[in-house]
Amino acid sequence: MTKASKKTYRVGIIGAGAIAQGCHLPGYKKLDNVELVAYADPNEERHAEVEELFPGMKGYKNYKSMLAKEKFDVISVCTPNRDHAKATIAALEAGCHVLCEKPMATTLKEADAMAEAAKKARKKLMVGFTHRLMAGPQACKEMLQNKQLGKPFSIRVRFAHGGPYPGWAKDPESFYNPKIAAGGAMLDMGIHAIDLALWLFGPVKSVMARAVTLVKKIKVDDNALLLLQFANGSLGSIEVGWTSKPGFTGVEIYGTEGSLICDYMKGLFLCGGKASAGQDSVTEWKTLDKAPTKGGWETEIAHWIDIVDGKAKLEMNWKAGRAALEVALAAYASSKSGKEVVLDT
């Protein structure tokens, strides 16, 4: 058990699908200052799964009924994307601190409404940007803050795999139906990549992108490429996809005094020396961490409860959620128009 304060937080879950069962419920269950009270999901199959895996919780078909009948301190919103805003606002209005899955919302208007609800309720609202809690990205952040790479001028993020698969995607429609998901690979995986780029390099000034469906027979994008220009003048590129075989997944950061290669499969490496177009290149590799993905889901819920408890700072807040969403929506607009989209940074 993870020790925290003497207060016991009453927790509810809205949406009992894959992310709730894989991250939120087991994360809360590990904590000795949390009581898992109830969950809400309209699907009977989800009820059967939760009752088997996490017995003792009350099950509701409708989250509004659950919020009206139960008393909670904390709510996790794990619904399909289109319902994030409505469920989050309802939970905030019921007096709960809320951890909302990414993306924060599907429109900036929704994101702004969520922010206003959090301010009015004086409650904490966190967005689940799990990659920030991994050892590799955290080390990259620290090294950039310490200026160990000199002047950073470029970042590349690639997150790609075979896409949502049966067993994980409890309801494929939540990923592949544009009316429910509001986007494809770029909004699902890309939002993590965008958030990491913003967290590491700062605000984005403009974006050019191409979001397309190359392989899967679905109505949303299965691959996307983004080119970012940051407010500080540096450049970034993001590649995300749901059709990839094993390959590089992670983050590359290039500075005037060195390079960081955060390969999620192989490790975190610092690269120095001399890069040359001729025969005199000298490469100096140093392994910094062989397990750069340590953390993430394993620590997210404990970190969240520490935030609620006042023991940790809320950084994955609504501002971070809105900023990442703004870039993602601008990328979709750029893909549609074929033009660069300038953001109001």
Higher pLDDT, 96 or 1: 96
212 CB contacts (<8 Å, ≥6 apart)?
Answer: 221, 222, 223, 224, 335
Summarised one tens digit per residue, pLDDT across range 15-67 is: 999 999 999 999 999 999 999 999 999 999 999 999 999 999 999 999 999 99
Determine the residue type at 148. Q
Is 70 exceeded by the pLDDT of residue 190?
yes
pTM, two decimal places: 0.95
CA distance 128 to 315: 11
Q: Tokens 């429109």 belong to which residue?
A: 107
> Region 248-257: what's the mean pLDDT?
97
Neighbours of 336 (CB within 10 A): 12
Q: What are phi and psi of 69, to 5 degrees?
A: -95, -20
Is 50 exceeded by the pLDDT of residue 4?
no
Residue 125, both tokens: 């609202």
Summarised one tens digit per residue, pLDDT across range 65-124 is: 999 999 999 999 999 999 999 999 999 999 999 999 999 999 999 999 999 999 999 999
User: Helical H runs in 202-317?
Assistant: 297-308
pLDDT at position 235: 98
Phi-psi region of 250 (alpha: psi -120 to 50; beta: other; left: phi over 0): left
Summarised one tens digit per residue, pLDDT across range 207-246 is: 999 999 999 999 999 999 999 999 999 999 999 999 999 9
273: pLDDT confidence band, cut at 50, 70 and 90?
A: confident
Q: Tokens 């939002």 belong to which residue?
A: 191
CA distance 232 to 296: 28
Summarised one tens digit per residue, pLDDT across range 142-184 is: 999 999 999 999 999 999 999 987 666 778 888 999 999 999 9
* Short-list 326, 304, 244, 292, CA closest to 124: 304
> Region 292-305: what's the mean pLDDT?
97
Is 60 exceeded by the pLDDT of residue 2?
no
> Region 199-212: what's the mean pLDDT?
98
pLDDT at position 159: 97
1: pLDDT confidence band, cut at 50, 70 and 90?
A: very low
Structural contact between residues 107 and 297, judged by C-beta atoms closer than 8 angstroms: no
166 CB contacts (<8 Å, ≥6 apart)?
Answer: 172
* Short-list 129, 103, 80, 44, CA closest to 300: 129
Neighbours of 235 (CB within 10 A): 14
Structural contact between residues 92 and 118, judged by C-beta atoms closer than 8 angstroms: yes
Summarised one tens digit per residue, pLDDT across range 309-320 is: 999 999 999 999
Write the DSSP assignment of 32-91 as a string of letters. TTEEEEEEE-S-HHHHHHHHHHSTT-EEES-HHHHHHHS--SEEEE-S-GGGHHHHHHHH
pLDDT at position 166: 62
Is 70 exceeded by the pLDDT of residue 345?
no
Please give the domain boundaries of the chain with CATH numbers for all domains.
Answer: 9-127 (3.40.50.720), 131-294+325-342 (3.30.360.10)
> Region 323-338: what's the mean pLDDT?
98
Rg (CA), the chain: 20
The answer to which of 147-151, 248-252, 256-260, 278-282 has the lowest mean pLDDT is 278-282
